[in-house]
Structure 1
Amino acid sequence: MTDMTGWSVERLHDDHSQALRVSEVLYDNKTDHQRLRVIANPTFGRVLTLDGVVQVTEADNFIYHEMLTHVPIFAHGAVKRVLIVGGGDGGMAREALRHPVDSVTMVEIDGGVVDFSKEYLPSISAGAFDDPRLDLQIADGAEFMKTTDGGFDVIIIDSTDPVGPGEVLFTDHFYGHAKRALAPGGILVTQNGVPFMQGGELTGTLRAFGTLFADAYCYLATVPTYAGGPMAFGWGTDSDARHVPLELLTDRVAQSGLDFGYYSAEVHKAAFALPGYVKKLFP
């Protein structure tokens, strides 16, 4: 929302907010599900907000998308099928499709997000929507997860915060369906907010993961426009992929020939080193 002349003020938290200077409003409209805005900011470029909450920016989106995609893919080591729930801006698909995967299925509830992202934020998807390996489905992610035949090596839950249409993606039932949709040795990763401000969100996910997976954990990355400290990503798998040796990770990254703005084998390993306040959130 815009509370001050020329500023967009986010009020996701009751007693903490952030503000971005608005140099231009490029898009402002309501879909059936939420209010979409694209503003321009001198530092972060174009910024997408949903119901006033920052979702993605041109300048720093690479951090979020790289860490939620490449950590599970490189840890797994042999990913062929990826499922993304959410991610309507196309950034997660962009990163997943940099790998030699056979297919990426993307399930987005709001087709309006995809349409205007193509028009107003084309650099985020960077052509991902035109990749023949992408299977884009405009559907409810929770319903899709109930009925899919599964067989996914990596499932990425690129959801909004647990309010409105994103709320159902944080339930025990949804995680249970996601576990069933994984192939043997598969990895489920989730967006779990900023644990300093949203600790209950992470605790709830880890509690559910603890009943479903042999390895229930999380890892961290700092994204400048997500206020309140590092962001947590939930991690669930029955494999030992979290403990893949640094040497093997380094070799996998080198063989991929990919370059990154944030991710590296060293950052991958370090992301699982958690500060005390985050460890205390484990159930």
Structure 2
Amino acid sequence: MTDMPPFAWSVEALHADHRQALRIETMIYDSETAHQRLQVFENPRFGRIMTLDGVVQVTEGDEFIYHEMMAHVPIFAHGAARRVLIIGGGDGGMAREALRHTEVEKVTMVEIDAGVVEFSKKYLANISAGAFEDPRLELVIADGAAFVAETTDVFDVIIVDSTDPIGPGEVLFTDTFYGRAKRCLSEGGILVTQNGVPFMQGEELTHTMRAFRTLFRDATCYLATIPTYAGGPMAMGWGSDGTSRAASIEELDERFRAAGFETRYYSPEVHHAAFALPGYVRKLLS
């Protein structure tokens, strides 16, 4: 653990015309290999932050928004999800939120790198919050694309908690992967995907929606605003052959009350409103 000089900053340069800077109060971990640089540092506003090559992956301060919206929107919309598949999610935050649903009988989490899980347990334990010890969680160390191609299991909800489509995460944004993931869905099942910030990464969303429209009767996205994913609201892709997106606020509220836990961002009203898309996002979908 290293105290940093005054005004040391981590500068994210993911986008060609935009920069984001986060102050480093204390460097917790800093390792650079021939392929990438992984850092964990303390920030006064966001707590512990993990970056990969300077790009924010997760922060203790705002991770709840991403994880709640990726997990609770499909699970509450489905209304009877028993088996959930998470592709990626090595920090354990997505599993944490999915496992809050007591009616979920099993969560299968497929993470390509066991080291990510162990690293997160050590340096970001507040994010998983004990999820890795839940007996309903099955942790599979494998390539997510290979898993959906080979498994015979079916799932009510599949959550693709991937990095951006660069390097190892790129395969999780292909038409082939989406088609194989659909094969693993139960009748009326839901696939949700991380699709970046559409104002900055519009082509990513357009590509995914092009694939979803050929695969699913109901293909769209919904939005959530996550402060450290800069450039506007983040898009989560939604694909299903069922009618679960038509659940009313009243139905969602009944399910939410029955679940018996509190959330910091998600609510039935936010769930419903998240599918109301501004014009520039609707244009990217079409």
Class of the TM-score when normalised by the shorter of the 2 chains: over 0.9
* TM-score, with length taken from structure 1: 0.97
SS in 2 for 1:234: strand
Residue matched to 2:38? 36
From 182, 186, 190, the counterpart of 2:189: 186
Residue matched to 1:86? 88
Query: Given that residues 150 and 180 in structure 1 are in contact (C-alpha distance below 8 angstroms), is that contact kept between their aligned partners in structure 2?
Result: no
Using the TM superposition, give the Cα deviation of residue 131 of structure 1 relative to its aligned residue in structure 2, in angstroms: 0.6
Q: Structure 1: any 5+ residue segments left out of the alignment?
A: none
The separation in 1 between residues aligned to 2:137 and 2:221, in whole angstroms, is: 27
SS in 2 for 1:280: helix
Residue matched to 2:176? 173
Q: How does 1:190-201 map to 2 (within 5 A)?
A: 190-201=193-204
Q: Structure 2: any 5+ residue segments left out of the alignment?
A: none
SS in 2 for 1:62: helix
Query: Is the counterpart of residue 64 in structure 1 residue 66 in structure 2?
Result: yes
- Structure 2 vs 1, CA of residues 81 and 17 (structure 1 numbering), >3 Å: closer, same or farther? same
Residue matched to 2:140? 137
From 78, 99, 113, the counterpart of 1:76: 78
Query: Which amino acid is 2:285 matched to?
Result: F
Residue matched to 1:267? 270
The separation in 2 between residues aligned to 1:27 and 1:50, in whole angstroms, is: 12
Using the TM superposition, give the Cα deviation of residue 35 of structure 1 relative to its aligned residue in structure 2, in angstroms: 3.0
Identity of aligned residues (%): 70
Query: Is the counterpart of residue 255 in structure 1 residue 258 in structure 2?
Result: yes
Query: Given that residues 213 and 238 in structure 1 are in contact (C-alpha distance below 8 angstroms), is that contact kept between their aligned partners in structure 2?
Result: yes
Give per-residue Cα distances to partners, 1:211-262, cap 9 Å, x unaligned.
Answer: 0000000000000000100000000000011111111101000111111000
Q: How does 1:221-260 map to 2 (within 5 A)?
A: 221-260=224-263
SS in 2 for 1:63: helix
Using the TM superposition, give the Cα deviation of residue 186 of structure 1 relative to its aligned residue in structure 2, in angstroms: 0.4
* TM-score, with length taken from structure 2: 0.96
The separation in 2 between residues aligned to 1:107 and 1:33, in whole angstroms, is: 23
Give per-residue Cα distances to partners, 1:47-78, cap 9 Å, x unaligned.
Answer: 01122110111111000000000000000000
Using the TM superposition, give the Cα deviation of residue 29 of structure 1 relative to its aligned residue in structure 2, in angstroms: 2.1
Query: Is the counterpart of residue 217 in structure 1 residue 224 in structure 2?
Result: no
- Structure 2 vs 1, CA of residues 218 and 189 (structure 1 numbering), >3 Å: closer, same or farther? same
Residue matched to 1:54? 56
From 102, 107, 131, the counterpart of 2:105: 102
Using the TM superposition, give the Cα deviation of residue 5 of structure 1 relative to its aligned residue in structure 2, in angstroms: 5.9
SS in 2 for 1:239: coil
Query: Which amino acid is 1:248 matched to?
Result: E
Residue matched to 1:208? 211
Query: Which amino acid is 2:64 matched to?
Result: F
- Structure 2 vs 1, CA of residues 193 and 71 (structure 1 numbering), >3 Å: closer, same or farther? same
Query: Given that residues 189 and 233 in structure 1 are in contact (C-alpha distance below 8 angstroms), is that contact kept between their aligned partners in structure 2?
Result: yes
